[in-house]
Amino acid sequence: MSGADTRIPYLPARVEGLAALAMNLRWSWSRDARALFRAIDELLWHQTHHNPLQLLRRVDPARIAACASDPAYLRLYDSVMERFRRETTTDETWFTEHYGDLRGRQVAYFCAEFGLHNSVPIYSGGLGVLAGDHCKSASDLGVPLVGVGLLYEKGYFDQRLRLDGWQEDTDEEFDVSATPLVQLTGPGREPFVTVVETCGRPVHVGAWRIMVGRVPVYLLDTNLEVNHPEDRSLMNKLYAGGPDMRLRQEWILGVGGVRVLRAVGIDPAVWHANEGHAAFMLLERLREQVAAGRTLEEAVARVRATSVFTTHTPVPAGHDFFSFEEVERVAGPIWEPMGVARETLLGLGEFPGQPDLFHMTVAATRLSSRINGVSRRHGQVSRQLWRELWPNRPAEAVPIGHITNGVHLETWMATPIRRMLDELLGPGWNRRPEDPRMWDQVPRLDPERLWQVHVELKNVLFRLIREDARWRFADRWREAAHVVGAGTLLDPAALTIGFARRFATYKRASLVFHDLERLRRLAADPYRPLQIVFAGKAHPADTPGKEVLQRVYQFTRDPAFQGRVAFLEDYDMHLAHLLVQGVDVWLNLPRVPLEASGTSGMKAGLNGVPQLGTLDGWWQEGYDGLSGWAIPPAGEEAEPDAEDADRLYRLLEEQLIPLFYTRDAQGVPLGWVEKMRYAIRLAGSRFTGRRMVQDYVRAYYVPAMRGEASGDDPPTA
């Protein structure tokens, strides 16, 4: 598979650029490009979940011909194509404006998952979507970044809920031909690019490229006929198959990723490991340095100087580690060609007091000179968590910083909200979001109009809920309880809480049900009802997480709540867009301090949806009293769940519900809209992907490109 010509039917010459546009995900965050595809066939656009390749393959050719002769359509087409050319080929960018002397120096960004678009389901949740937003923001800024990940042919997993609420994990291979992925070939047109030795045999590694604006992302693939059958299925699923499969996937990601970049002629100046899954990339570069004649000490110094490591996990159990024997079985005796002892090399991943275990995070920490958590609070937690690697330093002096996550504004902010900001802030406002004076104007948004836009977005969500339930009922649901549980009885006029994220126990999805009678009174109030929409998946191996999900789902069938609780099945990026744009308030209840950052509330905030949450992750530094509500920390002697639940109910009873239902003569909740405006200002001014990537460029990428020392002592080995 080599390009668009094999999967897109003939297009009239006047609009043949639609093929190139569809083959670069830049369209996915361009309002005009999306409007261009939607104008071809709006119903089909929605049926394909906004996938232009599918649209062009399925649309009636006569309709394309009509567009090619429609003056209004062609004016939009010409405008979109000119902007597409400018934003994917020109070198006049924020990066070159500020760092023009560094042209040609690239950043390699390794991650186990990338959430780029729902049509490429190789992500499980926050880490992948963050990586996708990082690539999109880098493209906007012109940062010379290249992504490296894995192609999971069966994606993460498709979620189906039994009538009793138990999650079943199903496999469904996604159609690569319906994505902008292009397969790369080797010099002799063979379907592999490089070879990695693992488990005593060679594994041929192929690669696919997907363009994300200016940023290429390379996804590694082992499903090749030349490979052993066991190796062909290595990339079947994301985070599946147990520790052995994960270890082999991470070995291919790290070692194969470096070799694929070498094979396609990319020589990065900076290497960024996004989470510990990518730590073997650092070992492969050590091997390269030693093979070039350097000692291990010299190799470590060179690798550290050009490496950045971001940790996303504040929970010790969430970090991957493997026994030395497991690593040796998968990697082989990699220390022998390097002329060092087994314990010396594998000891780079050894945590003090835990002998013969290779911790991916520890290895990445030892081999990177620039290390960060993903929020201010997470930076503090990480310094405490890994302080034993610097035994002579107090925790506050441990050289782990923080760069708070951000979200890609153009991807997550609804078009009607952006149109309002166009009028208020002027054209091009989204290309200068770092100007705080600009965001200070957002509280001047017309309240009546902002409320009307929100009501329209809410209605879009509720239409999706009904249509999805109708489709699932026709396809496989046979019980009315399933249909009710999917939200068909929800009231678009009621105060609607959204809770959508991975179902891990520390995120406490079921905390809102702590006092059933108290919650029932709120939900069943005939004058001021409250309703809750849940979505999310539990990891296939996380039985406690599945049990929390099951408990939550069972309340969707409880008549006492009068259909005010819903669970939306098979959460993905498409559904996430509608939820963060269409609910009234975003609920986030992690047990402090176990949330590294959390980005869903940022996405909601961009759409004027305020957050109600515990003071953890990004909300601990973002909460300002104007843009949402905070559940203060429980006292040291209190039982955290009971205390947090009581404060949650009190906030709902005393603040949120009265504020939402207090309306002016036009039916506008002016106090609530004030929160909405400040939520937009907060998210837009401080928590965008553009700000995040600029922070990485200034603090880490550029200093590493210029060979500047980090000034921090390496951790002990």
Q: Indicate the domain borders of the chain.
A: 4-89, 94-405+696-705, 409-687
CB 603 within 8 A of CB 405: no
Q: Per-residue confidence at 6, pLDDT binned at 50, 70, 90?
A: low
Q: Per-residue confidence at 714, pLDDT binned at 50, 70, 90?
A: confident
> Which tops the pLDDT comparison, 522 or 479?
522
- The DSSP element (H or E) to which 387 belongs, if any, is none
Mean pLDDT of 336-355: 94
Q: What is the pLDDT of residue 2?
A: 37
What gap in Å lies between CA 111 and CA 128, rounded to an integer? 8
3-state secondary structure of 411: helix
Pair of tokens at residue 248: 């082999």
**Cα-flanking dihedrals φ and ψ of residue 302, to 5°?**
-70, -40
Pair of tokens at residue 147: 């992504």
Pair of tokens at residue 365: 């920490």
| CATH, domain range 94-405+696-705 | 3.40.50.2000
Query: What share of the chain in percent tops pLDDT 70?
Result: 98
DSSP code for 634: P
Neighbours of 539 (CB within 10 A): 19
Please report, as a single letter, which amino acid is at residue 358: F
Please report, as a single letter, which amino acid is at residue 37: F
Q: Which residues of 73-95 are buried (b: 16+ CB within 10 A; e: fewer)?
A: beebbeebbeebeebbeeeebbb
- The DSSP element (H or E) to which 30 belongs, if any, is none
Neighbours of 432 (CB within 10 A): 12
DSSP code for 350: P
Question: What is the number of residues in the chain?
Answer: 717
What gap in Å lies between CA 63 and CA 74, rounded to an integer? 14
The mean predicted confidence, pLDDT, of the chain is 93
Neighbours of 337 (CB within 10 A): 11
DSSP code for 255: I
> Which tops the pLDDT comparison, 41 or 470?
41
Instruction: Give pLDDT tens digits for 531-576.
Output: 999 999 998 888 999 999 999 999 999 999 989 999 999 899 999 9
- Burial level of 504, CB count in 10 A (0-12/13-18/19+)? buried
What gap in Å lies between CA 4 and CA 715, rounded to an integer? 49
Nearest alpha-carbon partner for 671 in 661, 682, 685, 683: 661
- 94-405+696-705 with 409-687: one CATH topology? yes
Q: Find the DSSP H helices in 252-367.
A: 257-263, 280-291, 296-305, 324-331, 342-346, 360-366
Residue listed under structure tokens 């006929």: 225
Helix axes 670-686, 447-475, angle to 10 degrees: 80
Q: Per-residue confidence at 637, pLDDT binned at 50, 70, 90?
A: low
What gap in Å lies between CA 255 and CA 288, rounded to an integer? 11
Please report, as a single letter, which amino acid is at residue 714: P
CB 481 within 8 A of CB 501: no
- Burial level of 387, CB count in 10 A (0-12/13-18/19+)? middle
CB 497 within 8 A of CB 587: yes
DSSP code for 73: H
pLDDT at 353 > cutoff 80: yes
Nearest alpha-carbon partner for 352 in 392, 389, 317: 389
Cα diameter, the chain = 80
Long-range contacts of residues 227-231, Cβ cutoff 8 Å, at least 24 apart:
227/203, 228/201, 228/203, 231/198, 231/201, 231/203
Q: Per-residue confidence at 710, pLDDT binned at 50, 70, 90?
A: confident
What is the CATH superfamily name and number for domain 409-687? Answer: Glycogen Phosphorylase B; (3.40.50.2000)
Q: Per-residue confidence at 3, pLDDT binned at 50, 70, 90?
A: very low
* pTM as predicted: 0.96
pLDDT at 5 > cutoff 60: no
The radius of gyration computed from the CA coordinates of the chain, to the nearest angstrom, equals: 25
Cα 95 to Cα 66, 108, 141, 648, 686, distances in angstroms: 41, 16, 6, 44, 20
Cα 195 to Cα 84, 147, 188, 263, 451, distances in angstroms: 36, 19, 14, 11, 57
Residue listed under structure tokens 């955290």: 640
Instruction: Give pLDDT tens digits for 660-709.
Output: 999 999 999 999 999 999 999 999 999 999 999 999 999 999 999 999 98
Residues in contact with 557: Cβ distance below 8 Å, sequence separation at least 6, in sequence order: 481, 484, 485
Query: First CA to last CA across the chain, in angstroms?
Result: 46
Instruction: Give pLDDT tens digits for 57-111.
Output: 999 999 999 999 999 999 999 999 999 999 888 788 999 999 999 998 999 999 9
CB 422 within 8 A of CB 441: no
3-state secondary structure of 385: helix
Instruction: Give pLDDT tens digits for 281-322.
Output: 999 999 999 999 999 999 999 999 999 999 998 887 778 999
Pair of tokens at residue 140: 């906007």
